[in-house]
A and B are shown apart, each in its own frame.
Chain A
């Protein structure tokens, strides 16, 4: 007598309810609809190459960090210091390359070290204290917000660090992180390729490596994961460092591109990353999501940011749009969460 005959096992259910749906599906549909909407509302201006270049150029700085924040969210944590860390990375690079006359490549490596250290600090503090990462990284946020400007003023006498292009090794670094292909206004930054590479690598890690399985497991059920030997703490600390590394990349790219750094930059952006990740289908409570989803979430922001003025509306509506977007995405998030909770007891 086989268990196959038992009614309890092997009962097939409708595919949609049982298979793990691609988490970014909703954001992909939303991005497409929004793009079509603004194409019509802007009488076709949206589909012109210069506009698309602007959309992508708006999206990538958010997109790169949102991918890391998305992975962190899947593991069940938040990072509110990711935005201000963009300023930290830029300011550090600027101070070292201008005031201290350092070779820009050395400044690059040293600023990366500091940012990874800050990520490590976030991660270790969250793991050791057991406090919500929301609180721990909010502390880091305020700390860095003050330190960025204070240190910049201390070393350069100003909150604006300029003339980064005079540093040794600048041209080569510019070619790698900030060069352009195409001619203005149809110019695309090489940053987009970096963004693409980052999405691919993150997707690979998430879906095809054991670390990816640990990320899902850590956010899915921390105790269960720990019980079967998943290095839960290491996974979290690693992701805090990854997020800090992504912020560093955006910070130094911008510093090299604009040749100057406003030490106060990045404040407020932390919410954009979280919104992009949630819009992209990452579950706030962890355990579910993708790497491409947050990138699409950032793209949606780019489409709205450029589309709203093109449609002839006041650009202040961007903020209202962001609010609505967050609410809708969180609601969908909540519904998915409820479905999981209610079906667990069954």
Chain B
């Protein structure tokens, strides 16, 4: 039996226990969503804390993506509440959610391929100096600010003038995550960040995720890979058929039990019975 402790080689893996007991950054109460009278998600009550990596897992169609889309303002809930720092909030757009520190980084990353890294990093939020018609994009500042943010996270992307299309998948994730944190992400939602990556790059991205959490950000990670979730997760939210069926801390799980839950739990048993009786 694999235990979580055995798979933790570095100091990066230590969960920041002190912060976990603090008040939640983001909470949901009775959160639900109906699409044409069909319940896509019902009655979800969770709280996300700074310094924790919360993994959202479950089968296809279980409600994971509806859940994170509601958190980041892409879908409006039809029932329940989202509380930010204990106050009920409504996010009408991803932009508004971002302004309040809730940032989603999608699998399909928002980078313009032929633009340099620093131009991409500041896309839509260009730092300027001067005024009136002399106002200009502060290129020196942009390059330095990007480099220092990347250094803080231990990500080295080389020449800031590189075109974004030359980045590897892992490097793209690194840039996108650094950008999200630079703009003050307190809740960072990552949608399958390792799904297109090889083993080594996945490892680098997972390490980066731990580091982001250690710096005091609440991380929400959606991944279909049990190993990846188990490696970085502090908490696991297991969804099934539009309901949150488990909310477990990592200490209470093994890789096997997590894999079982992620594959659909009880549904797998049913399926096994059916197949056995064929």
Contacts and interface: CB of A to CB of B under 8 A. Distances in A.
Interface in B173-217: 174, 200-201, 203-205, 207-208, 211
Given A208-B137, A213-B137, A344-B165, A220 B158 contact: no
Nearest to B151: A4
B224 interface: no
Nearest to A1: B10
Interface string A214-256: 1011011101110111100000000000000000000000000
A346 interface: yes
Interface residues of A, number: 44
Contact of B113 (A204, A208, A287): A287
B12 A224 contact: no
A3 B10 CA distance: 11
B174 A7 contact: no
Contact of B163 (A4, A12, A18, A209): A18
Contacts of A228: 110, 123-125
Contacts of A15: 159
Interface residues of B, number: 49
Nearest to A216: B115
A210 interface: yes
B200 A213 contact: no
Contacts of B49: none
User: Which of B123, B156, B201 is most buried by chain A, counting CB atoms within 10 A of its CB?
Assistant: B123
A3 B166 contact: no
Given A1-B10, A9-B156, A9-B204, A220 B168 contact: no
A63 B269 CA distance: 72
Nearest to B106: A227
A8 B31 CA distance: 39
Residue among B10, B155, B201, B203 with most chain A CB within 10 A: B155
Q: Enumerate the 9 nearest inter-chain pairs by beta-carbon distance, A residue then B residue, closest first.
A: A220-B112, A10-B156, A224-B110, A210-B126, A3-B154, A228-B124, A6-B204, A229-B124, A8-B201
28 contacts: A1-B11, A1-B207, A8-B170, A8-B171, A10-B156, A10-B158, A11-B158, A13-B166, A18-B162, A18-B163, A18-B166, A20-B114, A20-B161, A209-B136, A210-B126, A210-B128, A210-B137, A213-B115, A220-B112, A224-B112, A227-B110, A228-B110, A229-B124, A230-B123, A340-B114, A343-B165, A343-B166, A344-B165
Interface of B: 10-12, 94-95, 109-116, 119, 122-126, 128, 135-137, 139, 153-159, 161-163, 165-166, 168-171, 174, 200-201, 203-205, 207-208, 211
Given A223-B110, A227-B110, A283-B114, 11 more contacts: A3-B155, A4-B156, A18-B162, A20-B116, A208-B136, A209-B137, A216-B112, A217-B115, A220-B112, A224-B110, A287-B115
